[in-house]
Amino acid sequence: MGFDYQKQCDLQQFQKDLDAFHITLSEKQIQQFVVYYEMMIARNESVNLTAITDFEEVCKKHFIDSLSLVKAIDLSGRRQESGSSSDHPELTLIDVGTGAGFPGIPLKIAFPDLRVTLLDSLNKRVDFLREVIAELELEKIEAIHGRAEDYAVPGQLREQYDLCVSRAVANLAVLSEYCLPYVKVGGSFIAYKSEKAAEEMREAENAIRILGGGAAEQISFTLPDADIYRSLVTIAKVSTTPAKYPRKAGTAGRKPLQ
């Protein structure tokens, strides 16, 4: 795309942050991140993708934040804390409410063997994501336009994924109703949260149980070389989600499960 990233972008801190997460990227993958940034900033003029536009801030608050998933799970599908080996052939992941592609696209760039679905309710954002996928020549990834309730039904994408992730802004009970129906029994839903994670976990305990989830687990940390506090809340899928969930569009947000 004619973008001289070596001259225009300071990649030193990004590389340092990747090292902190023990993530090693090739030159091609680094270029993919920078081209993704360039496309996002260009499209941001016509579609609201992000309020953060400085390259270093995008690297920290979007790219590294997205990749912080490795604090909770290795991307062959096993929890890091389990200590067990896994021969999982191909991890399937859906990013619900992906917006500008976070965390799904950074995860796909860094871990190309993932099979990824990006789901968003705004068609203009989905069009942008499809352009990014084509420009970066990413494979085994699709962007779908629709509400979370639309595809979490039998015959669509219900209980099709090993892992569901979301950085969407909603409380955990609401997110669980949107996301747990996508997860296979034995898989996990991981929500990106901040300071209020523990309170949300307590309030969502019964909703999670109703939806087929196990006890929520929290991993808290700060992003490398920053005072940005993050929590990853992992919910294992232990039983099939009852057929009546998720409820019709908008209901979960208006009347969260208690």
pLDDT in tens, 113-131: 999 999 999 999 999 999 9
* More confident: 194 or 201: 201
Classify residue 27: in a domain, yes or no: no
Domain limits for position 157: 86-254
pLDDT value at residue 245:
96
In a domain, 9, yes or no: no
- Identify which has the larger pLDDT, 74 or 167: 167
Residue 69 within any structural domain of the chain: no
Question: Which structure tokens are listed for 50?
Answer: 């992000």
- Any domain includes 231: yes
Q: Is residue 26 part of a domain?
A: no
Question: 169 CB contacts (<8 Å, ≥6 apart)?
Answer: none
* Domain annotation covers residue 22: no
List pLDDT tens digits, range 27-86: 999 999 999 999 999 999 999 999 999 999 999 999 999 999 999 998 854 444 444 444
Structural domains of the chain, count = 1
Residue 81 lies in a domain: no
Angle at 236 between CA 20 and CA 175, to 5 degrees: 85
Q: Distance (Å, rounded) from C-alpha 63 to C-alpha 187? A: 24
Contact (CB, 8 A) for 171 and 204: yes
- What number of other Cβ atoms are within 10 A of residue 228's Cβ? 15
pLDDT of residue 9: 65
- Between the alpha carbon of residue 146 and those of residues 20, 78, 100, 150, 198, the distances in Å are 36, 29, 15, 6, 30
pLDDT of amino acid 8: 55
Q: Mean pLDDT over all residues of the chain?
A: 91
Residue 2 lies in a domain: no
Instruction: Assess whether pLDDT exceeds 70 at residue 89.
Output: no
Domain CATH code at residue 162: 3.40.50.150
Low-confidence winner among 82-91, 143-152, 235-244 (lowest mean pLDDT): 82-91
Dist CA 40 CA 37 (whole Å): 5
